[in-house]
Amino acid sequence: MKTIHGDMSTQEITKVQELIYTTRVESVMASNVIAIDPSFTMSQVKDLMRDKRISGAPVVKENQVIGIVTISDVIRSMEEGKLNFLVTDLMTSDVRTVSKDAMVTDVVNNLGRQGFSRLPVVDQDGTLVGIVTTGTLIRSLLMQMDKSFQRNEAEKLYTYRASHIFQDISSDDTSLLLRYFVNEKDFDNAGKASSLIKRSLQRLMLLPQIVRRVGVAVYEAEMNLVIHTDIGGEITVEVRKDRVNVSTVDHGPGISDLKQVLQPGFSTAPEWIRDMGFGAGMGLANIRRVSDVMKLTSSPGQGTRLEIVFNFRNDSLATTRSPQKA
């Protein structure tokens, strides 16, 4: 049989650490603290602990924590016949408190290593606002982990249908071809294809940095089709195991000087296009910057073809984050 520890993947341990380092004490404390008035006798403390089923409580005078009394103090008072003594005579007055704004790491260090079983939580003025024990800590961390676990599961379900294609379809080399048609001068829909491409790649669970690079390039390319062609064009996205190939093809006017259009800052866009925030001559430069290979072929009257390749490089940048084939 596996132990609980053995079942815990490194990822889950990291998740706990992350929570401990990023969660504030305020969100893991119990805020309905039972505080004890300094005028109480040990006998009253004993009754209160029994009634409320607690094993310790802070002693509070004018909202400030002046001590802490536990079940072992009660036992000691019974042994020594001091049940009628004031709680202030038998409590521990050297109290370790923790700020509500501190990180949970502080609590973990104090609770575990220093041997404290409860820590009163105070605000900036030292006013008691809550208490943390190992119990409240574990409960709230588990709740938070459960929430993020459910979120991950929902994400997995949503992406499963799309991402399984590379695992379930058998061939020597599977690739997925997505085709989009772009209309010329249609500014209301300009960018729509890119938006759909970005969402599709996300559903295919490509790594976010790849999705982003493809998104930027394909959007610049789509705007080129919208701005510069007179009969629109077509965008093809081929998703393969190790790369994404994008090509845009149009039967527009073509380009006479390929060297010139590749110069950053060179543009033939009319003024009204520039007013929209485009046509600064940075499109192809941007595409080249985010891609691994960019190839532009064109001649006047023959249309233009732009081919862009995005390699996933090594395993750390590989296609999917989904479960790998066994």
Partner 1 sequence: MNIREMVEVLNGKILVQNHDPDEELPRGGAADLMSDVLAFGSEGMVLLTGLTNPQVVRTAEMAGINVIVFVRDKTPPPETLELARDSCISLIRTGYTMYEACGRLYQAGLPGRGPVRIENNSW
Which among 50-58, 103-111, 154-162, 214-222 is the span making contact with partner 1, rule CB under 8 A? 214-222
Distance CA 146, CA 149 (A): 5
Q: Which is nearer to partner 1, 7 or 275 (CB)?
A: 275
The residue with tokens 């996933």 is: 312
C-beta of 104: minimal distance to partner 1 in Å?
Answer: 19
Query: Is residue 183 near partner 1 by the rule CB under 8 A?
Result: no
Residue 242 neighbours by CB under 8 Å, 6+ apart: 311, 312, 318, 319
Query: Is residue 286 near partner 1 by the rule CB under 8 A?
Result: yes
Token pair in block for residue 77: 């008072």
Q: Which is nearer to partner 1, 241 or 274 (CB)?
A: 274
> Looking at 285, 296, 309, 318, which residue binds partner 1 (CB under 8 A)?
285
> Looking at 280, 296, 309, 318, which residue binds partner 1 (CB under 8 A)?
280
Query: Is residue 73 near partner 1 by the rule CB under 8 A?
Result: no
> Looking at 97, 133, 140, 194, which residue binds partner 1 (CB under 8 A)?
194
In the region spanning residues 116 to 145, those forming contacts with partner 1, defined by CB under 8 A, are none
Whether the Cβ atoms of residue 45 and residue 69 lie closer than 8 Å to each other: yes
Distance CA 292, CA 284 (A): 13
SS3 103: strand
C-beta of 110: minimal distance to partner 1 in Å?
Answer: 28
Q: Which is nearer to partner 1, 55 or 189 (CB)?
A: 189
DSSP-derived pairing of the beta strands 176-182 and 233-239:
antiparallel
Q: Which is nearer to partner 1, 82 or 288 (CB)?
A: 288
Query: Is residue 318 near partner 1 by the rule CB under 8 A?
Result: no
Q: Which is nearer to partner 1, 73 or 220 (CB)?
A: 220
Q: What is the per-residue burial (b if ≥16 Cβ within 10 Å, else e) of 238-265? A: ebbeebbbbbbbbebbbbeeeeebeeee
Distance CA 297, CA 244 (A): 19
Rounded to 5 degrees, φ, ψ at 219 are: -70, -45
Token pair in block for residue 293: 């290979």
C-beta of 170: minimal distance to partner 1 in Å?
Answer: 34
Token pair in block for residue 223: 């705007």
Applying CB under 8 A, the residues found at the interface with partner 1 are: 187-188, 190-192, 194-195, 198, 208, 212, 215-216, 219-220, 223, 264-265, 276-278, 280-283, 285-286, 288-289
